[in-house]
Structure 1
């Protein structure tokens, strides 16, 4: 594992710590697969919880794979043990919908929020979400919805909400939720010379009503050119 602690500290300082009573929702996304977005989002959440002492939720938009919960569970020495699954929705809202709705034995409809759980990571300071794929039945499909209800509900329980979006070349999830994020960080592998795709993604996010805070060069095997660059012209 590449140690990104230094970069996370610089990123935290650059974004600015949220003021008391002013929770922040920060999305991490890449234009292409393989840029290491999930690692960056996960390490930022860990830094915010352990080094900055904030209450953090790490929300995984890759619903079918839930890679964040799997990665944390695979490395308890680094992240901490995962706690028991609990509801990930404080008020019954969700950032997705499952269609067609599932009918319970008593004839009631399963609410979307029941498909999402959260695990405390190494205690109670930060949490990671996991989608319950096992609860899907038949031809049910999941769609991210353009609504701020879930994000506003989480603001009452966390200082920082870190959102890990799938790469834009395989999912529109990040663009769908972009208008409801306070900041979106574009992640690019440090050894990736072509920045045209991130530039196009920046324009798409801005056009959707989102706010790009900058570009994070993710260190793979070489020293990155910088931790956070001004958004591309």
Structure 2
């Protein structure tokens, strides 16, 4: 694992320190898969958890594989031991819906929020979400919702909320939630010469009400990555 502490410190400084008592929601997304978005989001969350006054949450929007939970679970020496699952919704709201809903034995349907758990990472300051996909049955599928309720509720319980979105070439999640994010960081592989897709994603995020903070050029395989405040041309 490449040590990204220096790069994360630069990114932290570039994004600006949150105002005291006010939560900050930062989305990480790439135009194409394979750019290293999940690594950047996870390392930034790890960095932020050591500096934030309250809790830092890493919310994984990949509801198929929950790769953030898996990556942290396989490297406890780096991230710390994972705690037992707890409800990931402070008030029962959810940023997704499972359809068709599963009926409960006693009547009613299984709440969407019950499918998402949160796990502490090495202590009470850092939390990561996991979607319990194994609980789905038959034809059930999960869909991201555009509502603000979940994010408003989570803001009251955390200081830094890092949202790891699947790449735009495989999911519309980043665009669906763009308006509820304080900032979005575009992750671009330095080895990818074509910058048109990230530029198009930047424009799409703006059209969806998002605020793009800048570009994180991921050069981890060749040299340390660098965060540039300048927006892609």
Q: Give TM-score scaled by structure 2 length.
A: 0.97
Structure 2: distance between partners of 1:99 and 1:52? 36
Render the CA deviation track for 1:189-217: whole Å, top value 9, x for unaligned. 12222111100000000001111000001
**Structure-2 residue corresponding to 1:40:** 40
1:194–1:111 Cα change, 3 Å: same
1:187–1:194 Cα change, 3 Å: same
**Structure-2 residue corresponding to 1:29:** 29
Deviation, structure 1 residue 220: 2.5
Deviation, structure 1 residue 224: 5.1
Aligned residues: 233
Pairwise CA RMSD: 1.1
DSSP-derived class of the 1:227 partner: strand
The runs of 5 or more residues in structure 2 that have no matched partner are none
Confirm whether residue 203 of structure 1 aligns to residue 198 of structure 2. Answer: no
User: Where in structure 2 are the equivalents of 1:1-233 lying within 5 Å?
Assistant: 1-52=1-52, 54-223=54-223, 226-233=226-233
Render the CA deviation track for 1:138-189: whole Å, top value 9, x for unaligned. 1011110001110110001111000000000001111101111000000011
Deviation, structure 1 residue 53: 5.2
DSSP-derived class of the 2:92 partner: coil
Q: Give TM-score scaled by structure 1 length.
A: 0.97
DSSP-derived class of the 1:21 partner: coil
Answer yes or no: is the 8 Å Cα contact 1:191–1:220 preserved in 2.
no
Deviation, structure 1 residue 54: 4.5
1:191–1:53 Cα change, 3 Å: farther
Comparing 14-23 and 68-77, the one that deviates more:
14-23
Answer yes or no: is the 8 Å Cα contact 2:52–2:160 preserved in 1.
no
1:92–1:225 Cα change, 3 Å: closer
Answer yes or no: is the 8 Å Cα contact 1:98–1:141 preserved in 2.
yes
Structure 2: distance between partners of 1:52 and 1:191? 32
Structure 2: distance between partners of 1:19 and 1:44? 18
Structure 1: distance between partners of 2:78 and 2:225? 26
Deviation, structure 1 residue 229: 3.7
1:52–1:9 Cα change, 3 Å: farther
Structure 1: distance between partners of 2:225 and 2:74? 30
